[in-house]
Amino acid sequence: MVKNIPPKQNMLYVDYQNALSDKIGLANGISKRSFLGELKKNQPSLKTIFRSKNKEEYAFLDLPDDQATLRKIKAWAKGQEKNRWENIILLGIGGSALGAIAVRKALTGHCQNLKNRPRFFIIDNIDPDPIAELLSVADPVKSLFIVISKSGGTTEPLALYSIFREKLEEKKVKNLKKHFVFITGPQKNPLRTLAKKEGFDLFDVPPKIGGRFSVLSAVGLLPAVLMKVDTSALLKGAKKMRDLIKKIHPEENPALILACLQYLLDKKKEKGMTVLMPYSSRLFRMGDWYRQLLAESIGKKSTVGPTPITALGTTDQHSQLQLYCEGPANKWFIFFRVLKHKNEIKLGSHLPKELDFLNHKKLNQIIDAALQGTSESLTKNKRPNVTIEIPTIDAESLGMLFMLFEIQIALLGLMYKVNAFSQPGVEEGKKITKKLLSK
């Protein structure tokens, strides 16, 4: 009998019964036997990851223990209060933005900028149109800019820095350095040079932490502190998940389970696409964070690399479900099920006969029933699907999710035999771009 994490209070639970051959047949589902075999086979990889001599490679595991950095950030943020910023504007891209976006949406929601100050904007593109739009509503003079680049030389955040700095100079701002805080890697780099020259506040990304594994470093924590997120709980959740994964039995180990599901469904059942479909708007952008993590870490060597796809329940039932149920059987699905939403909202009694089963129901029940409907319907169509149950969306559960997926990806690197921490394929395009602009 395949065991699983019991749905304990305040812990995530991975329900993968609908990915097994018992439910969906051997052509699309994994047999219990081969699943148990895979768990056993990869248990040593888990040991490898946690072995202390490999600490450098898996340095992200230590981030939840770095209370000193968090204290430093909190003290610095406290010092910012006197500036009464109207806007905080993060300039970063990829791993320097996706963690903060995921945290922002999950923990503060979608409408904060319409009611609270400071407003928080995350700019992760160099399209001139949204920048112009932002400038039409946010006065740089009343804004703090967080500039993030792990390498210190990323085109996008540095170009954006130059633009906003130019705007501040145009407005004859005297104390320029008040407006900027930089976050970058420990090596000598353009951003670091600039920070020193100008006297900007500076936070480090610890050595050996890759951009996409940096959400629990200053890269994610500094923005989160400014958003007034409970960052201590964020780290606590990550620590709790790490410690659980380190010691729990393979058959109950959520990171090992998710890694083995991904590997077997991709390699043995030809499910080359991984659809992450939260039934929660707040967790939707977590999908974008995971999308980078999976794609950039494992997409290598022309032959391997599942393609991550983000979808949203129930929204995408009305857009993608037809393809998911009746199109080619080349995908598997991960649902996020939130057991307790932050809010409860109840319908009235206005709906006519054909829809009177909805009257007086809570939205919470309806979205949950829709998830079950989708999951069962995929199962009937023999499409493997897994549900991650999340007790509630808070900083602690978000920290758990970050750590769970980071360890899953570290495991997948070993299983797929690729370097999960490099991204050699993006250099070529950068060179061409630079050449074009240097003409």
The amino acid at residue 267 is K
Catalytic residue among 268, 301, 430, 434: 430
Q: Helix, strand, or coil here: 218?
A: helix
Nearer to its own copies, 46 or 312 (CB): 312
Residue 87: φ, ψ to 5°? -135, 140
Catalytic residue among 82, 318, 353, 439: 318
The stretch among 11-19, 71-79, 139-147, 426-434 that binds its own copies (CB under 8 A) is 426-434
Binders of its own copies among 392-411, rule CB under 8 A?
393
Provide the β-strand partners of residue 145: 89, 180
Cα distances (Å, whole numbers) of residue 114 to 119, 120, 145, 284: 8, 10, 20, 20
Binders of its own copies among 92-131, rule CB under 8 A?
93-95, 98, 109-111, 113-115, 119, 124-131
Nearest one of 26, 42, 50, 57 to 262, comparing CA atoms: 42
Binders of its own copies among 190-209, rule CB under 8 A?
190, 193-194
Q: How near is the Cβ of 187 to its own copies at its closest, in Å?
A: 13
Nearest one of 227, 72, 100 to 157, comparing CA atoms: 100
Residue 363: φ, ψ to 5°? -55, -35
Binders of its own copies among 266-285, rule CB under 8 A?
272-273, 279-282
Nearer to its own copies, 242 or 300 (CB): 300
Binders of its own copies among 360-389, rule CB under 8 A?
361-367, 369-370, 372-374, 376-377, 380-381
Residue 264: φ, ψ to 5°? -70, -40
Q: How near is the Cβ of 374 to its own copies at its closest, in Å?
A: 5
Binders of its own copies among 153-182, rule CB under 8 A?
153-156, 158-159, 161-163, 165-166, 169
Binders of its own copies among 66-95, rule CB under 8 A?
93-95
The amino acid at residue 209 is I
Give yes or no: 296 in active site.
yes
Spell out a b/e string for 37-69, using b for 16 or more CB atoms within 10 Å of the CB, else e: ebbeebeebbeebbeeeeeebbbbbebbebeeb
The stretch among 50-58, 72-80, 149-157, 201-209 that binds its own copies (CB under 8 A) is 149-157
Q: How near is the Cβ of 150 to its own copies at its closest, in Å?
A: 10
330 belongs to the binding site for its own copies (CB under 8 A): yes
Give yes or no: 318 in active site.
yes
Nearer to its own copies, 233 or 273 (CB): 273
Among 56, 84, 303, 417, binds its own copies (CB under 8 A): 303
Q: In what order do the strands lie in the sheet with 331-340?
A: 13-15, 385-392, 331-340, 273-278, 307-310
Nearest one of 229, 206, 209, 306 to 266, comparing CA atoms: 306
Nearer to its own copies, 27 or 75 (CB): 27
Among 38, 288, 394, 406, binds its own copies (CB under 8 A): 288
Nearest one of 77, 430, 99, 421 to 286, comparing CA atoms: 99
Nearest one of 420, 430, 387 to 293, comparing CA atoms: 420
Catalytic residue among 156, 296, 396, 406: 296
Q: How near is the Cβ of 282 to its own copies at its closest, in Å?
A: 5
Q: How near is the Cβ of 160 to its own copies at its closest, in Å?
A: 9
The structure tokens listed for 439 are: 């003409």
Active-site annotation, residues: 296, 318, 430
